[in-house]
Amino acid sequence: MSLGADRSYKMKLRDVENAFKYRRIPYPKRSVELIALLAISCTFFLFMHTNKLNSRLKEMEVKLQPSEFSALGLTSNHVSGHDAGKHDDINTLHGTYQYLKSTGQLASLSSERLNNTRHARLEVVFFNRGAKVGSEALMQLTETMAPLNNMTVVTKGPIDINARIRAPRERMLQAVWVADLEPGTIYIEHCNWLDFHRYQLPKPIYINMVRDPVERMISWFYYIRSGYRNAIIHNRFPNTTLKSEKWFKKSYNQCVRSGDPECQYVPESIKDAVGDYKRQSLFYCGNNRKCLPFDSPHAIQLAKRNVERDYAVVGSWEDTNITLAVLEAYIPRFFRGARQVFELHSNSIRNRNRNNRKPRVDPDVREMVRRNFTNEYEFYYFCKQRLYKQYLALQLEDNLR
């Protein structure tokens, strides 16, 4: 083949290749529509699963909070409290001290860093008191201290309801009302944690109290059977049907052992057979419906986060001297001289709203109830450990003498 013929052959071959390379293959119209529909379906499928995965990751992010949301950086297994009473128990002041010392954290404790009062933008204390934690006693203490520290105690808010959670409009109304209080005011009421940042309002000084979860339930059980409380309710609501004599005489031991719905605390339950305020963490978790399931790990983590970020002090009458010392040091504007005032008026403070009828509850009954409060105990011990850290940060080793 001559050179010219070879070149002509190569050019023809290239033209054939280009024809196949760039040719447009017609597809039936229905095929094109089918391909487009498949593409849209795949995109929607991926979107839904990505969105679901994102939601699951957010849930895991809350459940697997970093150690800063555990008061001592421990897991719940370390804070179970079943060995309470031992000298080195992590849920005691001494146990907390020993743990912090052994891990090298004791020297780095800073009362300034542990004090959320510095983040407040209102000179107002927001005490959203929990039920049966001794909040009446702290109310009595603040009322006694009021003239000494030039402060005002307010115990009635803008909304007269007793719901477990409040509607968005009710929350906003309460938050605006609190933000408008005069400086130097302590606002005390049974209600849940409020998110002032949501309404672009200045944050107050949050405080509250905690109590052993089972002791709270025993106290509540006999409190609602007290003649004093029932007389108040009957005067306020005269048409209320009175309970039977059998109900008034019911014992907590009998109630738990017999499987009475009043004393059955079912984890993850939302609807209660009887209103009993068993969710101590609800006062700290807030008004989100995710806070309602009882003993829910998710709700407990939300409550921990709010305490760690917002609350200046969460005390306990089980540690009276420690609580009063921390209140004095971390919120001096309102609690200066708290220990001295308490010592002078301890009888009237301790006896306010005290329930004297509290029969003995058997140890096995306490243990039966305790098994259903696993996560509530985790929250309770978290608050206690945080209180001990705040106390130890003030003077360190001197506080143990």
- Catalytically annotated residues: 190
Whether 229 contacts 357, CB under 8 Å: no
Enumerate the β-bridge partners of residue 187. Answer: 126, 154
Cβ-based neighbours of 322, under 8 Å, separated by 6 or more? 93, 315, 387, 388, 391
The angle subtended at Cα 307 by Cα 126 and Cα 160, nearest 5°, is 35
Rg (CA), the chain: 31
Both tokens assigned to 55: 């939601």
Q: How many beta carbons lie within 10 A of that of residue 244, not counting itself?
A: 9
What's the CA gap between 361 and 218, in Å, rounded? 8
Q: Of all helices (H) and strands (E), which one includes residue 135?
A: helix 135-145
What's the CA gap between 73 and 160, in Å, rounded? 40
How many angstroms separate the Cα of 78 from the Cα of each of 70, 296, 376, 382? Answer: 10, 18, 14, 11
CB-count burial class (<10 Å; 0-12, 13-18, 19+) for 236: exposed
Closest CA to 312 of 114, 156, 135, 167: 114
- Site of tokens 């059977």: 225
Both tokens assigned to 59: 């849930």
Whether 262 contacts 255, CB under 8 Å: yes
How many angstroms separate the Cα of 198 from the Cα of each of 125, 157, 176, 285? Answer: 19, 19, 11, 15
3-state secondary structure (DSSP) of residue 314 = strand
| DSSP state, residue 337 | T
Q: How many beta carbons lie within 10 A of that of residue 339, not counting itself?
A: 15
Enumerate the β-bridge partners of residue 205. Answer: 125
